[in-house]
Structure 1
């Protein structure tokens, strides 16, 4: 078979190819149905005008051939539409990792502090986090990523999704003060675990088995001072569920060297949370540290591979269906003219 014919054949397929077996059905019906016996038909009185018209045999025969062409075209178009012809479009392989990642971001009032540098200018902590965080999210194509934002309250800013562009946009639109100005680390982490945990089984009422490819990235620049839970208690739950938690301690000072400064990061608690769940704690004091942290997590949670491309198909059945409709309209018009 020539290459061009092979390429053409591979570009099309049918949703129901066995429907094409209906094509010879009229011929089989005409052959198998009993023929009319001679003399069995009754007499019919025909007006003289019709007899004169019938004498012009060429025009009648031509109309008969045209009608036969329309009938067969109508039947072939209907069968082709039933077979469901489809155009097979090329598709590219997408990266896939099987991971679900929840970013848990601190939006307390301390994120307004302007002690980070970006593009030669002093910016607040949230601006630096947005720049690095959105870039990190867009690089994680193939993961399901979501965002939980916390302060006094916690809420899901973006549900886990493969649409990394939308999730990155949700982070870029985050605003300080939207959920308060305190720091409820435990509640934010707990909400992230709730979104990552499989729902209870309808039969047993128990959650499904823990999955090891679920990851939480917790970033805060303060200590837990709001909410109903503590980070250590929630970390124990994360360990039971098999969720790995990476923690990021943001800011130039922590509780060990606060020197009287308020709202500094609790590095020790974040280290305990990471160690308990099998994650890693990152100490981030500058924008360069922030970039290095994102690169390190991207490497730790690597393992993305090209998933097999799914063929994309475009339905073509409306075209033969439209042809069949036109043939039916032509048959009706020819019948009225006759």
Structure 2
């Protein structure tokens, strides 16, 4: 009952006041019937006339019309079923995760439940938690190896974005290498098109830049002019075990000074995660540093119910008219 009262209401309750004169009219009509009976002195005439009046067409339809007034008045008062929803707007923070998918990300120098874990799988799991923990932020995904690829445009549809993240694999891009500068430039171009108060790039890499036409520091300078902050995250250990799969590909170790300078130039932070716990803590720290409250507002949705009441009133009126039409004439 309480739930019903919370949701059901009349949008125009002033029409319900018409019930008072209608009720008064019914009372007066019944009173007139009683008064009329005393005007006749001859009982035979009274009985004959009373029989004729009761059999008139109007008398047959009047009860239906009176009952029809009830749903008609309720319908005029506009009954509605109201639902109030709390909605949140985007927080104003746009984030692009630039994800290294070079072959070196297959190195399994991380450990999860006493089992070797590839750098890529470790990063995917932590990024997934990061996205799920920021439901009010617009987030995009850029993959890169020897060239960048915009896998997920900046969006609030995190379910779709998480599916794109789940699809990330090592051979998703043909050109091998690590083009950090190009990845920053591609991420910055997507953020530059956005009108937001805060623009963030989270750059994940496990090596030094060895591909692309734009150097990482040049790309960082460009990002700085656009008001973009870059958090750089180096992932893996220096002595990570190299699998046979990547032994024949040129590979450079971490360029930590460059990653630090990229972060410093743009007002971000540099992190080096050498195990799963450190990687998890890194993203939790970034999550705490880049917090913004989303604006909340109430959306009221009213479902109109008057149609049912008007339909019932119409049906009762039609039944009243049928009763009048089918009523036989009074006998003389």
Q: Does TM, normalized by the shorter one, top 0.5?
A: yes
How far is 1:288 from its partner?
A: 2.7
Alpha-carbon distance in structure 1 between the residues aligned to 2:284 and 2:204: 15
Alpha-carbon distance in structure 2 between the residues aligned to 1:159 and 1:333: 62
Alpha-carbon distance in structure 2 between the residues aligned to 1:13 and 1:306: 31
Alpha-carbon distance in structure 2 between the residues aligned to 1:186 and 1:71: 76
Say which structure, 1 or 2, has more relative contact order (CA 8 Å, 6+ apart).
Answer: 2
Structure 2 residue 258 is the aligned partner of structure 1 residue 269: yes
1:24-65 Cα deviation digits (max 9, x unpaired)? 79999xxxxxxxxxxxxxxxxxxxxxxxx9654377424223
1:297-319 Cα deviation digits (max 9, x unpaired)? 122223x44754x33544331x3
Which residue in the other structure is 1:224 paired with? 209
Secondary structure of the residue aligned to 1:249 is strand
Structure 2 residue 64 is the aligned partner of structure 1 residue 66: yes
Structure 1 residues 64, 264: closer, same or farther in 2, change over 3 A?
A: same
Structure 1 gaps, min length 5:
29-52, 200-207, 255-259
Alpha-carbon distance in structure 1 between the residues aligned to 2:89 and 2:14: 41
Structure 2 residue 292 is the aligned partner of structure 1 residue 298: no
Which residue in the other structure is 2:303 paired with? 316
Secondary structure of the residue aligned to 2:78 is helix
Structure 1 residues 261, 156: closer, same or farther in 2, change over 3 A?
A: closer
Secondary structure of the residue aligned to 1:149 is strand
How far is 1:164 from its partner?
A: 4.0
Alpha-carbon distance in structure 2 between the residues aligned to 1:71 and 1:103: 65
Structure 1 residues 24, 228: closer, same or farther in 2, change over 3 A?
A: farther
Structure 1 residues 252, 67: closer, same or farther in 2, change over 3 A?
A: same
TM-score (norm 1): 0.70
Which residue in the other structure is 1:101 paired with? 95
Structure 2 gaps, min length 5:
22-50, 240-248, 326-332
Structure 1 residues 76, 295: closer, same or farther in 2, change over 3 A?
A: closer
Structure 1 residues 227, 332: closer, same or farther in 2, change over 3 A?
A: farther
How far is 1:120 from its partner?
A: 0.8
Which residue in the other structure is 2:200 paired with? 215
Within 5 Å, give how 1:154-193 maps onto structure 2: 154-180=148-174, 181-193=176-188
How far is 1:278 from its partner?
A: 0.7
Secondary structure of the residue aligned to 2:99 is strand
Which residue in the other structure is 1:38 paired with? none
Aligned pairs, how many? 287
Asked whether the 8 Å contact 1:251–1:265 carries over to 2, the reply is no
Alpha-carbon distance in structure 1 between the residues aligned to 2:319 and 2:18: 26
Pick which of 104-113 and 130-139 moved more: 130-139
Which residue in the other structure is 2:231 paired with? 246
Alpha-carbon distance in structure 1 between the residues aligned to 2:76 and 2:307: 6
Asked whether the 8 Å contact 1:115–1:124 carries over to 2, the reply is yes
RMSD of the alignment, in Å?
Answer: 3.8
Alpha-carbon distance in structure 1 between the residues aligned to 2:52 and 2:140: 79
Asked whether the 8 Å contact 2:53–2:59 carries over to 1, the reply is no
How far is 1:261 from its partner?
A: 7.7
Structure 1 residues 333, 261: closer, same or farther in 2, change over 3 A?
A: same
Structure 1 residues 154, 60: closer, same or farther in 2, change over 3 A?
A: same
| Match of residue 329, structure 1, among 315, 320, 332 | 315
Runs of 4+ more than 6 Å apart? 7-10, 22-28, 93-96
Within 5 Å, give how 1:94-173 maps onto structure 2: 97-173=91-167
Alpha-carbon distance in structure 2 between the residues aligned to 1:25 and 1:191: 68
How far is 1:217 from its partner?
A: 0.4
Asked whether the 8 Å contact 1:250–1:265 carries over to 2, the reply is no
Secondary structure of the residue aligned to 1:244 is strand
